[in-house]
Structure 1
Amino acid sequence: MSLLELQMGWRALVSHPLFALGLTLVAFQFALWLYRRSGWLLLQPVMIAMLLVVAALFATGLDYATYRQGAAPIALLLGPATVALAVPLYHNLQRIRLLLLPILLTVLLGGALTVLLTLLIAHGLGARVPVLMTLSTKSVTMPIAMLVTEQLHGIVPLAAVLVMLTGVIGTALGPLLLRWARVDHPAARGLSYGINAHAIGTARALEEGEESGAFAALAMSLLGVLTAVLLPVAMSWL
């Protein structure tokens, strides 16, 4: 077999849709194994898997558009996975009803404070308006963040990166900060994860227990809705 035939075979293999699908699954499973084996919170599976996929794309020369098309079936699972969060919510519905007002106040004030502090710090560091608009959406789930960022005339690709970094950093530092603050109640821990680290934080909260995961999912959902509705209105007044 000639070198040319080998190159053509390699290109055909890399460009096949199953290659992107398999690469994503293998990268995440390895990252998950590494996270569980090491126990290091900084080795978040999402971040490690992303780095592995990026390295593989560079090594194989596969462009992102082709990879995204091949990995599309995995993206379709995000919908059912999100809907599945209703299970722990249902199991803790009675407690949520009892704490509804404190939950709403916590999400509203916590979300507003997060956006305000982020904008003040970024403005003090000299960030321009498009970057400020992008930073304002970093604490909600990626689909909502990208749509709101586009509505605010921010930088959509940067928003996707910031959302991911917020989730990874919040999940890595959250347990340590909560331990320092002596926050032990599952509901309080869950709300903190949901507000500060959205979907990745919710996954971490589910590891701690169903109650924590339920409140994290609720906080993530409420903050996403409030951000999508109130943030564009607030920014129009500035």
Structure 2
Amino acid sequence: DIEKCIREVSSYIDNTLRPKYPVYGQDIKIMGLRQGNRINLTICCAMIDRYVSSLSEYVNYREKLAEEALKVAKTCTDNAVEVHVNTADCDVECSLFLTVTGTSAEMGDDGSVGRGNRANGLITPHRPMSMEATSGKNPINHIGKIYNLLSNELAHTCVEKVDGIAEIQIRLLSQIGDPIDQPLVASAQIIPKPSFTVKDIEKDVYEIIDSGLENINSVTERVIRGELKTF
């Protein structure tokens, strides 16, 4: 649930909230912590100074972001959720995350590859993840980019189309010199739902992986058309 909360809140800020309230800059970071049946989200959002006329207005925007994020997060989970925004702010001293550009670039701390920014939009140190940086790489034969995008897509397809999957992790590994549609390793680690076994599921999963590799060139084409995001 926590990963879904983070992705949905981030998407909501980018696609719904910012077009309506341009004060919210593009530099958005969301940290999620799950403790038992409670989820704690900490949002770091650069505010753009030309849209803020006073400290009280800044505080109102900060509170609104917390309220909106909480509404979205609650649609993603049955767990209790808390949302905190710009927790490093010190209102008394007017030390706020207020920027000119809406990013931390003006402090020399920004980039499309940078810290994290995996192809699925998440940094998940307690789950398997690639250390490859997908942004800034060519989409034709750089497998760090292509395999990241493909494995995420395959995992989503498996969950959507195959009954009985509680969780799935797909790993693709290439060997230099071999065609990219013939990886050295293509594996799926499946956690089935109760009353299902891996044997009930694996045949359909293998077929989806084989089909994805057979059509791997479509990943390149969709990246070029801007249909796939790298973070």
> Relative to total residues, which structure has the larger strand share, 1 or 2?
2
> Relative to total residues, which structure has the larger helix share, 1 or 2?
1
State TM-score, norm by structure 1: 0.23
